[in-house]
Structure 1
Amino acid sequence: MKRLISMNKLNNFSIISSLLDNDFYKFTMQNAVIKLFPFAKAEYEFINRGKHSFPKNFDKILKENLNRMAYLKLSSEERIYLEKYCPYLDSSYLDFLNKYQYNPKEVNIYQNGKNIKMNIEGLWSSTILWEVPLMAIISELYYKLTGAKRISDKKIVILTKEKLKKYKKLKVKIGEYGTRRRYSYQVHKLVLKILIEEGSPFFIGSSNVHLSHFFSIKPIGTQGHEWIMFHAAKHGFKKADRIAMENWLNIYKGKLGIALSDTYTSSVFFKNFNKKLSETFKGVRHDSGNPLFFTQETIKHYKKFQINPIKKKIIFSDNLDPCKVSYISSFCQKKINPFFGIGTNFTNDVGVPSMNIVIKMVKAIPEKNWISVVKLSNVEEKSTGKKNMIFLAKKILHL
């Protein structure tokens, strides 16, 4: 009976209350998509990496939350915020966002026992915004419906301050990237409040646009793997990184200049990261594999083109905590500038196991036909896509 009452309450509770409650790179990519690929279609799939068991009727409550998202609209205040803090998002895109509404019909959800299957399909320019808020909803609902008890707000504040103390001692630049696997919106907001109030001058911002608006700070982020995955469907695996970067430059003219390095492994990325691109982009993002080896390879790559690595950045974003940040920053010292995007360790370090879930693009229509897309990553467990397509990609790339 208690579970039924809690479910009824949840049916009247919206987890996502703003169109901007999403990662910034979703909006930057959406802007690029509507300008370059307005008719492209995409399909995404939910992947339950952690083999989590979902409670009965989870799919129904999830659908209720998605249906409410159809009523979210960009407010005039939110538009003014974007105009002020994100000038590289031009007025034509903001006009598009003014009219944008989530379409729940794009999302298909099935529950079979304790397993959830989900796919999202439609125009890429429309479906691109679903991934992050969907994951945030799944995470928060999962904890609520399974009765997972977190530590108190007071303990979260103490824990966050302790981490900040360590980062300040290391004198490293850190950002918060934790929307998609947060314990809850409330925890996310609390943690970000502490980071803003006590993180200066080392805290550089949050990837969450809605909370950045709430706290009047600039959002951070550039692009995700799907940008490059789509380019592979359109241009092939060998050239995908290079053409994706060139198109990014055409849209942003050097702004938001961090290149993502591991969609088809870093070794393939560096082959595409030619002198012009290496000079123009401000740095690279590391999201999988050995961070120290990647740092060495990045420095070596820059030196090959007579580019001083100390003028470039590496944004590390792979499952970070104070211990990992400490040894990475120590290794980078006086060689290259490290920045750290910390996600789950900020927004879901609350005394319960964090979820291991992802939503990834699995197919795209660049022109006429559906093409399966894959991500290879630098580690096997982070690769996504059909096995036969992964095998083909590795064969073509000689991996």
Structure 2
Amino acid sequence: MTVSLSVKLVSLLDTDLYKFTMQQAVLNVFPDVVCTYRFTNRTPSTLFSKECIDIYQKAVSNLANVSLTKSECEWLRASCPFFKEEYISYLSSYRFKPNQVSITFVESPTFPGMGTVQIETKGLWVETILWEVPLMSLLSEAYFKTVDRDWDYEGQEDLAYRKGKALLENGITFLEFGTRRRRSQRTHDLVVAGLKRATEDISGPNIGRMVGTSNVYLAYKHGLKPSGTIAHEWFMAIGALMGYEHVNGKAMDVWHSVYGTANLIALTDTFTTDVFFQDFTGERARLWSGIRQDSGDPFVYAPKAKAVYESLGVDYKERFIVYSDSVNVELAINLKKQCDELGFKAMFGIGTNFTNDFQIKSSEGKEKSKALNMVIKLSSVNDLPCVKLSDEPHKHTGEPAAIEHVRAVFGMND
């Protein structure tokens, strides 16, 4: 059987919910801001073939033909009441502009036909904000169809079913979070089907629940709830545009002005969680329904958050912690135990461990066919450099001078 090497986006909705919620906020508050995004391969030794990048470039060009269908539009309106009619209308007429994306293949002098790839997106923020997720998911799919081909789909749905069953039986609340680094769209579909089947089969007292999926198209297809939180780029852009003094407070307040009491899960680690908590006033802590851990030691996070909530006189037992950093079943179970002991509500966003887990080992016992370790981050807004500091120093992104400037603002250079 001949395997098609083409890759494509099956729907404009085939992305994560947070891209749409942030796009609406940008449309409302920052419609004229111009930005750039840049791709980073965190494993530079991973090379792409020229064939892979050719297929990828064709897929990116074809995104100009993708648009929201009438059925999808109606479903989005009914399923996401926090989207205003103005935004639904905007999204209905939205089209990707491939000329906003630059893709450059740089051949390796050591391995002919193989090399690295440079990807940059530039244009109005409200337009380019939707490029990040499909650019990553399509690159991953092209790579695993052309470079790393020692795998197949057999058992993927059942593997997801077993993981979902283990999470549910341990009382864990979770959502599927794996669009960006998925192996392929078909893999993602199988995974969501397996997880949904687990929720239908497992019932009883103290059983957890699947909140939904961050992938809006798969929520639409499988009758699930689209779920998600705010992302780093919101805080990064606010810092560059509005200044870094009390940047987290500014970002939360502007977001609240758009959404009211909806979609209020705060991401804490854009400039480190310690800096975030400096802006986490009692009023904000009572307003926002939870916080999200995405870098650093996850077992340090809940005790620290508990101390902050208590110092503010806020009942932390009524708040959520969403864990989303490299979460797998075992980690989720252990973190759930800690949160139960402390009294926190816990939720888990599980991504790559669902949608790109093929558990293949070489004859020497070494892991192979591993997911690509890549990101696309906001690089600048209105020619102002953007920075992300993270709770893990090796994950800092941005120009070195800009990083040092932001560190100085927060007193980190002492």
User: Common fold, TM-score beyond 0.5?
Assistant: yes
**Counterpart in the other structure of 1:192:** 192
Distance 2:199 2:310 in 1: 33
Unaligned runs of 5+ in 1: none
Residues 23/239 of structure 1: CA separation in 2 closer, same or farther (3 Å cut): same
Q: CA deviation at 1:151?
A: 4.4
Distance 1:329 1:278 in 2: 22
- Equivalent in 30, 34, 38 of residue 45 of structure 1: 38
SS of equivalent to 1:246? helix
**Counterpart in the other structure of 1:143:** 144
- Equivalent in 86, 90, 95 of residue 80 of structure 2: 86
User: 2:7, 2:55 within 8 Å by CA — same for their partners in 1?
Assistant: no
**Counterpart in the other structure of 1:361:** 378
SS of equivalent to 1:19? coil
Identity across matched positions, percent: 33
**Counterpart in the other structure of 2:364:** none
CA-to-partner distance for each residue in 1:351-376, whole Å, 9 max, x for gaps? 321110100001111xxxx1101100
Distance 2:399 2:149 in 1: 34
SS of equivalent to 2:258? helix
Pairing 1:210–2:204 present: no
Amino acid at match of 2:178: G
Distance 1:223 1:292 in 2: 22
Distance 2:128 2:157 in 1: 35
TM-score (norm 2): 0.91
CA-to-partner distance for each residue in 1:240-274, whole Å, 9 max, x for gaps? 11111001111110101101100000000001111
Amino acid at match of 2:142: L
- Equivalent in 34, 46, 49 of residue 55 of structure 1: 49
Q: CA deviation at 1:345?
A: 0.3
- Equivalent in 36, 54, 75 of residue 29 of structure 2: 36
Distance 1:376 1:318 in 2: 15
User: 2:161, 2:197 within 8 Å by CA — same for their partners in 1?
Assistant: no
**Counterpart in the other structure of 1:244:** 251
**Counterpart in the other structure of 2:403:** 390
Distance 1:396 1:152 in 2: 49
Unaligned runs of 5+ in 2: 108-114, 201-207, 361-368
Pairing 1:263–2:270 present: yes
User: 1:41, 1:124 within 8 Å by CA — same for their partners in 2?
Assistant: yes
Tell me which stretches of 4 or more aligned residues in structure 1 moved more than 4 Å: none
**Counterpart in the other structure of 1:126:** 127
Pairing 1:379–2:396 present: no
**Counterpart in the other structure of 1:20:** 13
SS of equivalent to 2:65? coil
**Counterpart in the other structure of 1:349:** 357
User: 1:373, 1:385 within 8 Å by CA — same for their partners in 2?
Assistant: yes
User: 2:103, 2:118 within 8 Å by CA — same for their partners in 1?
Assistant: yes
Q: CA deviation at 1:147?
A: 4.1
- Equivalent in 285, 309, 319 of residue 292 of structure 2: 285
CA-to-partner distance for each residue in 1:96-142, whole Å, 9 max, x for gaps? 00110000000001111101011000000000000001100000000
**Counterpart in the other structure of 1:232:** 239
How many residues matched? 387
User: 2:121, 2:128 within 8 Å by CA — same for their partners in 1?
Assistant: yes
- Equivalent in 282, 286, 291 of residue 275 of structure 1: 282
Distance 2:151 2:316 in 1: 42
Amino acid at match of 1:239: H
User: 1:14, 1:68 within 8 Å by CA — same for their partners in 2?
Assistant: no
Pairing 1:317–2:330 present: no
Distance 1:159 1:60 in 2: 32
CA-to-partner distance for each residue in 1:307-340, whole Å, 9 max, x for gaps? 1111000000000111111211111105210100
TM-score (norm 1): 0.94
